Structure 1
Amino acid sequence: MKPTKTKQVYNPFLPLNEYIPDGEPHVFGDRIYLFGSHDKEGGDEYCELGDYVGYSAPVTDLSDWRYEGVIYTAKQDPGATEKSKLYAPDVVQGNDGRYYLYYNLSGDVGFHSPISVAVCDTPAGAYEYYGYVRNPDGSPFKRHILHDPALINDNGTIRLYYGYSLSSKLAKASGHESAQAQQHEAQPAAFSQESMVSALMMVFHKSREEIESEPDGIMGANVVTLADDMLTVTSGPVRIIPGEFTAQGTSFEGHAFYEASSIRKIGELYYFIYSSQQSHELCYAVSKYPDQGFTYGGTIISNGDVGYSGRKEEDRLNMTANDHGSIENINGQWYVFHHRHTHSSTFSRQACAEPIEILPDGSIPQVEMTSCGLNGGPLIAKGEYSAVIACNVANGAMPHITNRRIDSDIPFITHGEGQRYITNVKENTRIGFKYFAFEGPTVLKVVTRGNGNGSFIVSTDEKDIGVIPLSSSETWCDSSAVIDVRGTAGLYFTYSGSGVFEFISFAFDQLK
């Protein structure tokens, strides 16, 4: 499907067949680079492709993303097995001017492999294996839970942030009754010390001695400093944010650390961005110091818009699941990068971004998911658009899930025959695109297929603006109606009728 001829950028901002979650955006020189994991389209596990691919764009044109190719593969790590995948990475420029990529291996070594490092002379790769984060005696550094490394070169001091924590919310979203889920499901107060230790030994492959020797526990966000060799730990670790089980009575209660560490320094303040115990939201904490004094700031974004304008979880605007990303200043504008979920699973995640504002008091108001994130304004209500740039796909009963694929009766983005579209569109499915700049009367055409008898009720944020009857057909076919809208507004398609449809594209055509 061809997009509008006017050069624009929409969410997801990479090619529609590309799945780069866990994004870490960094400006190096005059380009913005996105580093992240690599999911398979319609995949069955996280990071299934087992490599990292690079994308970058000029800081002056965020519609011009360039594929940099494969920048690193799991098999380059000497500790990898046939099952190893590459979890969420980060990249930092060392004091020697080279670029260092930090990552964890997943697969059968997940949660107990060391943090590994690769290096390259340029941010776009290709990277070569360099070593693993180690203690001064050369042994692998294994304190706490080694997960989701994040780096900052703080005026010559290299700091590494990392960590993980169980979350009681996630068991209810996991859809199974394994021992791990049962441990997740219990509330903190219900855990005995022995049951907690047993759970941690099982889930994180830790010995009893490793667990009981940590005065702050092994769950939470931590920081260490590294030597100029980018490998050797010179101080720490220090706990900076608690996990759910130790957050009671702190500013983090209800939004404690889960995973997805990221770090930025803005002026004299340090911003720690992370995925909270709610999983679907990226939160931030602020401190004057890099290793202490962090307090909860708020939610930056939720991949179901939960919390935005007071929205409750039961009213989420998408199926929600884990989120991971960070913020970056690009050509004077701050953005948050994160990911959405497709294919009715947690294993095919796509990169999205939204502009954010950092207020004079240092706070970051929560922003909503849109279809026009990096565009610098609303999309133009002219030409053709893919339906999968929808920022909201919901039916009033969307679930929160984790670590699985579901077969619930919900609408979702999928693919087939080399195309991407929204499937399982039934009664009360509402598909939203925010925002478009409308210029008056236009023919709005939709392309659908399916077996049913019904219509799309077309609306903006304020009112219904038209009805498009849908034709029952096994092949893609057009239906249209004239709408009349002026100004910037969201565009929504709500299905009313029987049967089930699939929705691949829509277009704005001139009146004849």
Structure 2
Amino acid sequence: MREFKNRRNPILPLEFHIPDSEAHVMPDGKLYLYGSFDDREDVYCSDRYRVVSTPDMEHWTIHDVSLTGQEIPWFNDPDAPKYQGIDWTHPTPFIRKMLENMAADGEDMKEQFEKAAENEKPPLLFAPDCIEKDGKYYLYFCMTDDSEGVAVSDRPEGPFTDPVQLPCGGIDPAIFIDDDGQAYYYWGQLFSHGVKLNEDMISFDEGAVVHDLVTEEEHYFHEGSSMRKIRDTYYYVYADMERGKPTALGYSTGKSPLGPFTYRGIVIDNDHCDPESWNNHGSIECVNGQWYVFYHRCSRGTQRYRRLCAEPITINPDGTIDEVKMTSQGVGNPFAPGETMMGYQACELHGKVYIGVEEQLKDSAGNCYEEKLTNLHAGDEIYFRYVESAKDWTKVRLITAGSGKVTVWMNGKIAGSITVEGKTGITKLTEAEIGMPAGRYEVVLKVDAAEGLEIFEVTVE
């Protein structure tokens, strides 16, 4: 178990990558986050889950492992029931594009999937969800073989035991209990499916499944189902393809848990969190009277190593949700004058720059900077949102390695520039004067020149 304090993005200590976050306030009044666990560059997720909790969005606990893939008895069992996941023969725009790309490369998709189905897969656990009913906590999960299941615990953080396979196949399960106590189960990719759960919370009538609740073609649905109810409206939140790739969390609404649903828009888009940004998966939840969106951002120049983040959102009187930008400040106040912004807290990146790992570099005081902004080139842009001061802004400080020149922009206006002269691998503190009136600002560092330049810390005051 790990306890810590933080109100900034990313939320978790750097060694913990918990994406696909489903957020639920449980009966004890605490918020619990259920997600997958990234720890490899070559594949999404891993073979274990860890639950995160907080009583106040500031003091956090990362609990011990709650379930492992090795505990699932039917995984890679040739005699276990097999259920189809995504239907790759269904001609959605996404599938058509994949087929065209593979055909252009001389690959046969059908042959690839048949071959993959024959191979033994690692017991990876993909995105989960969890709900409480009658004092029991039900964790719904999915795996690399398209199987889905549920495990049970007496505690919201687990451990979860006695896994049972569900009669369906696919990814990204979601669970929702309506005001009348009826539970609903959702899953799917490109086409979503939903069904009423039986009273036991671990079974359902296969003949009662409603298909195509939201789809790629009509609702921009890619994956990552999540259901909430606000007043008398049901909100289906998911990874949204409207902008060409599923980096956004979008939502559709309806007057019934099983639809029909109408597409309403995007809540947040993590595009440009990294040059390789590709997917998003998260949820919305009301905590102590404030609604938040929980989502992830990838790092290290890959689609993986995704990080848990959160932003406050507004549910308007007409039921719509305003789109919000990714921020560095997260659920806290804007950064104060003189408050350090770590390089890994940059919330938007343009160009070749990404947040990379630095395990050994130490400064003269012995401080170790575990991650940094690296691979900087002329033309790159680095965003930090937001800083705020009652006094004029007069100074910028950078801790860097290498050399280069950076122009500081605040709310779209040039505040000043800073030239760094140093050697690769050796950290250096450089400061320069800037000029900008008091107020709240988005800070953008635009790289004019870079020679081995890396940025560890940014401070404005």
TM-score (norm 2): 0.82
Cα deviation digits, residues 216-270 of structure 1 (max 9, x gap): xxxx1110111121112036210243433xx3xxxx2xx4221101100111111
| CA displacement at 1:319 relative to structure 2 | 4.4
Give 1:80-95 correspondences, 5 Å limit: 80=75, 83-94=122-133
Give 1:57's match in structure 2, choosing from 51, 54, 57.
54
1:299 maps to which of 247, 262, 266: 266
Q: Structure 2: which amino acid aligns with 1:368?
A: K
Say if 2:265 is the partner of 1:241: no
Residues 408 and 443, structure 2, Cα contact 8 Å, conserved in 1: yes
More displaced, 84-93 or 150-159? 150-159
Contact 1:303 1:318 in 2 (8 A): no
1:270 counterpart letter in structure 2: Y
Q: Is the 8 A contact 2:408 2:444 kept in 1?
A: yes
Match of 1:228 in 2: 199
How far apart are the structure 2 equivalents of 1:498 and 1:343?
A: 19
| Alignment partners' CA distance in 2, 1:236 and 1:484 | 65
Residue 246 of structure 2: which of 271, 275, 279 is its match? 279
User: 2:6 and 2:159 mapped to 1: Cα distance?
Assistant: 29
For 1:147, what is the secondary structure of its paired residue? Answer: coil
Aligned to 2:387: 436
Task: Give 3-state SS (helix, strand or coil) of 1:345's partner.
Answer: coil
Q: Deviations over 1:135-160 (max 9, x none)?
A: xxxxxx13xx4211000111311110
Deviations 1:393-415 (A, max 9, x none): 112xxxxxxxxxxxxxx211111
What is the match of residue 314 of structure 2? 357
Counterpart contact for 1:241–1:257, Cα < 8 Å:
no
Q: Aligned to 1:119, which of 152, 162, 176?
A: 152
C-alpha contact 1:318 1:392 (8 A) present in aligned 2: no
Q: Does 1:163 align with 2:188?
A: yes
Task: Give, in whole Å, the separation in 1 of the partners of 2:252 and 2:30.
Answer: 27
Q: Write the distance in 2 (CA, Å) between the matches of 1:352 and 1:441.
A: 28
Query: Per the alignment, in what secondary structure is the counterpart of residue 264 of structure 2?
Result: strand
Q: 1:364 offset after TM fit, Å?
A: 0.9
Structure 1 position 441, deviation (Å): 4.0
State the match for 2:411 in structure 1: 461
Q: Deviations over 1:12-53 (max 9, x none)?
A: 11112221110101111321111100001x6221113x1111
For the structure 1 residues 67 and 424, does the alpha-carbon distance in structure 2 shift closer, same or farther, using more than 3 Å as the test? same
8 A contact 2:274–2:355 mirrored in 1: no
Partner of 2:98: none
Letter in 1 for 2:176: I
Please, which of 44, 47, 51 is the counterpart of residue 46 of structure 1?
44
1:489 is paired with a residue of what secondary structure? strand
Q: 1:266 aligns with which of 230, 233, 237?
A: 230
| Secondary structure in 1 matching 2:331 | helix
Q: Structure 1 pair 43/14, CA: closer, same or farther in 2 (3 Å)? A: same
1:26 matched to 2:24? The reply is: yes
Change (3 A) 1:373 1:498: closer
Within 5 Å, which residues of 2 pair with 1:122-133? Answer: 122-133=155-166
What SS does structure 2 have at the residue aligned with 1:87?
Answer: coil
Q: What does the per-residue CA deviation read over 1:200-231, in whole Å, with 9 as the maximum and x for residues that have no partner?
A: xxxxxxxxxxxxxxxxxxxx111011112111
Tell me the TM-score normalized by structure 1: 0.74
Alpha-carbon distance in 2 for matches of 1:459, 1:264: 39
Q: How much identity, in percent, do the aligned residues show? A: 33
Distance 1:476 1:15 in 2: 22
Choose from 61, 82, 107 the match for 1:66: 61
AA in 2 matched with 1:243 = T
Q: Contact 1:91–1:99 (CA<8 Å) still a contact in 2?
A: yes
1:372 counterpart = 2:329: yes
Contact 2:252 / 2:262 at 8 angstroms: preserved in 1?
yes
**In 2, distance between residues paired with 1:256 and 1:462?**
32
Tell me the equivalent position of 1:11: 9
Q: Is the 8 A contact 1:240 1:291 kept in 2?
A: no
The residue number in structure 1 matching 2:353 is: 411
Q: CA deviation at 1:272?
A: 0.5
Question: Aligned partners of 1:413, 1:434: CA distance in 2, in Å?
Answer: 16
Q: 2:141 maps to which residue?
A: 103
Structure-1 residue corresponding to 2:373: 422
Q: What do the CA deviations read for 1:106-131 (whole angstroms, capped 9, x no partner)?
A: 2xx2x2x2x11111111111211331
Equivalent residue number for residue 189 of structure 1: none
**In the alignment, is the contact (CA less than 8 A) between 1:89 and 1:101 conserved in 2?**
yes
Cα deviation, residue 323, structure 1: 0.5
| Aligned residues of 2:17 and 2:308 also touching (Cα < 8 A) | yes
Q: Is the 8 A contact 1:240 1:292 kept in 2?
A: no
- Give the distance between the partners of 1:319 and 1:491, measured in 2 at CA: 23
4+ residue segments displaced more than 6 Å:
none
Q: CA deviation at 1:327?
A: 0.3
Gap regions ≥5 residues in structure 2: 77-120, 361-369
Partners of 1:318 and 1:362 in 2: CA distance: 33
The residue aligned with 1:212 is none
Q: Which residue of 2 aligns with 1:386?
A: 342
Counterparts of 1:504 and 1:122 in 2: how far apart (Å)? Answer: 40
- Any idea what SS the aligned residue of 1:228 has? coil
Are residue 496 (structure 1) and residue 460 (structure 2) matched? no
Q: Tell me how far 1:442 sits from its aligned partner.
A: 4.5
Paired with 1:30 and 1:442, the residues of 2 have a C-alpha distance of 44
Report deviation, 1:74.
1.1
Distance 1:496 1:324 in 2: 34
Report the CA distance between 1:318 and its aligned residue: 5.7
* SS of corresponding position for 1:233: coil
Deviations 1:41-99 (A, max 9, x none): x6221113x111111111xx3121112121111111112357111100000112x2210
